[in-house]
Structure formats: C-alpha cells, structure tokens
Amino acid sequence: MSFTSRFTLRRHGLAAAGTTVVLALTLAACGSSKDSSDSSMPGMDHGSMPSASASSHSMDSMPGMDHGSMDADDGLSDAKDGYELMSSAGELPAGRATGYTFQVMGPDGKPVTGFAVDQAKRMHFYAIRSDLTGFQHLHPTMAGDGTWTADLSALEPGSWRMYASFAPDSGTGKGKDFVLSRTATVPGDAKPTPLPAATTNAEVDGYTVTVKGELTAGTAHPMTVSISKDGKPVTDLQPYLDTYAHLTAFHEGDQALAHLHPETAVNGDHGGPDLSFHAMLPKPGNWRMFLQFRTGGKLHTAAVTLRVS
C-alpha cells in the first residue's frame, strides 16, 4: 500500500470522527436522548478500516483475506496458514554476540527462499526479553537453502522471544504479512526489570520523543510522535527503512507484537518534527514501544511505555 492511499484512509477516518463529534454535540445541545453519544454511530467504527491491522502493511492482497483477525496478528504463534518458523536454537549463550539461525517452512514442507521486500528488507527480526528489555531489531541474511542468520548482540539471561516478520513472494502466502515467533532461553541468573511507568515522553541520545494520542485496544487511532532536541523541533530526520521512524511495540505479560507504520511521506533528510501514525494496538494494557529514527547517519532507539485502555 502506498503512503498516498494510507494517508487518504487516515484522512477519511479523521473526517468521519470529526463529523460524528460535531453531530453528537449538536444533538446534545438540542436536548436529545443519551443515544446521541452512542459510540456505535456510523462513522465511529475505525476498526473496520483496512489499515487497522497493526502488522498488516500489504494492502494489495487477495480478495477474501482476513485483515481483521487480531489473534493471527499478535506475533505469538510459530505457525500460521501453513507457514512455520523453525529453529534449533532453543538456548542461546549469555553475555556475548551470537547468531540465531532459523528457517521459514512453507505449506509444501520445504524452506521458503523467496521473500518480498517490505520496508526495504526481505526479513525483519526482533528479539525481546520477557520483561520487555533488551530490544533488538535486525535484518538477517539468508543462505541459498533458506536458512537465515540473525546476528544478535549480547543477551542477558532470561526468557526471550524471537520474531520473524516477512511476506513470501510466491505460494499460498504470497502478498501476505507474517509475524511468527519462538522462545529461546538464555541461561544464567535472570534479573527482571520492572516495566517503566506509562508516560508520553522518552529521552534518547539527547533527543526528546513525545507521543500524543488516546489509545484504545482494537481500534485504530491517530497518534503523533514529535521529536525535539534542546527544546527545538528536529527537522533533519533521515529515512530509515523507507520511513522517518520505525515503531515496534510489545505487550506487557505476553509479548504480543504490534508494528506501527508512519503515514508521513518520506522526502529526503529533513523529516520531522511531527510524525503521524495509524496506531492500532490489539490488546489493553501496557505496551513497551520502541521508536527508531536516524539523524546524521546514526540510528536512535527511544523506548516509551504506552497505556492502552
């Protein structure tokens, strides 16, 4: 899906919501019944918009495909629609860089070797510990037989989840986005870190990231991320993976993954300070969000806890 059509959808959603609010206020002013504020009014159903799915970013899909299934999109399963994430690496060493090797097995029982480029890469890989610390976002390399290797930085002891995000470019899964994951244990004395409290600000490398938006589970909402430095708006964001910000969020407790896509079109090395997202988080609770952006050739990763009601 292009940025243009995504933007159009968002504009449509905002317009519909704005209309509804005005309508509700008008009815209330006329002394109408409580029904006027019923959230089931036409135009309020953001969840039905095609771009609502948190991890679905391929909209040129086949008819009949189910973009609305949240269970299939939380990234917690190792298999979906005949595709399976396979790895023999159930245990990984602590405290040093290590490779995580895996394959995606297709419905035909063979490793998939053909993947579509999405956000500049054929495979996106994430690692997170069960307490939502230690986030890593990597782009593994594939050998000819379909074996991928993700070069992980040092891991702390504990229980980890490894996610592969990809779209096959042939077979029954062609054009469909998958996020599959497996757990891995890192032996040693695991010291869980309490999740930082929900907030709207985060600091990283001298930058301040501010998040604006009311988030409700299962409903798409506009969300704005603003980036400043030394109190001044940042306007020199460089493209990173075809966007000005890459945003991944993990749910406290079960490590469900949501991938949010900026709607702001990319145009050279002068992005910012405001980035618009279509935020769709499938479950209520706390989400640890990792926002990655690039300036001066350097990648920054800000982490912020979001409360979703």
CB-nearer residue toward Cu ion: 140 or 271: 140
Residue 300: helix, strand or coil by DSSP? strand
Residues 266 and 163: beta-carbon distance below 8 Å: no
294 part of the interface to Cu ion, by CB under 5 A: no
Q: CA of 274: how far to CAs of 54, 107, 236, in Å?
A: 20, 42, 11
Residue 90: helix, strand or coil by DSSP? coil
Residue 184 burial (C-beta neighbours within 10 Å; 0-12, 13-18, 19+): buried
CB-nearer residue toward Cu ion: 176 or 261: 261
Q: Which of 279, 297, 299 is nearest to 289 (CA)?
A: 279
| Closest CB 303 distance from Cu ion, rounded Å | 16
Instruction: Kindly indicate which of the ranges 117-125, 207-215, 221-229, 277-285 contains the residues binding Cu ion, using the contact rule CB under 5 A.
Output: 117-125
Residues 200 and 210: beta-carbon distance below 8 Å: yes
For residues 233 and 226, what is the distance between their CA atoms, to the nearest angstrom? Answer: 8
Site size toward Cu ion, by CB under 5 A:
1
Site map 76..115 versus Cu ion, x via CB under 5 A: ----------------------------------------
The label of the residue with tokens 């050279």 reads 268
CB-nearer residue toward Cu ion: 163 or 219: 163
Q: Which two tokens stand for residue 258?
A: 């949501």
Asked if the peptide bond before residue 194 counts as cis, ω within 30 degrees of 0, the response is: no
Which position's Cβ is nearest Cu ion?
Answer: 124
| Closest CB 201 distance from Cu ion, rounded Å | 25
Q: Looking at 124, 176, 182, 300, which residue binds Cu ion (CB under 5 A)? A: 124
CB-nearer residue toward Cu ion: 106 or 140: 140
Instruction: Kindly indicate which of the ranges 8-16, 118-126, 201-209, 301-309 contains the residues binding Cu ion, using the contact rule CB under 5 A.
Output: 118-126
Instruction: Kindly indicate which of the ranges 26-34, 121-129, 194-202, 276-284 contains the residues binding Cu ion, using the contact rule CB under 5 A.
Output: 121-129
Instruction: Kindly indicate which of the ranges 24-32, 35-43, 124-132, 259-267 contains the residues binding Cu ion, using the contact rule CB under 5 A.
Output: 124-132
The set of residues, in sequence order, having a beta carbon less than 8 Å from that of 160 and lying 6+ positions away, is 92, 127, 128, 129, 130, 134, 183, 184, 185, 186
Residues 146 and 159: beta-carbon distance below 8 Å: no
| Closest CB 232 distance from Cu ion, rounded Å | 29
CB-nearer residue toward Cu ion: 221 or 300: 300
CB-nearer residue toward Cu ion: 67 or 246: 246
Residues 227 and 234: beta-carbon distance below 8 Å: yes
CB-nearer residue toward Cu ion: 124 or 261: 124
Residues of this chain that bind Cu ion (CB under 5 A): 124
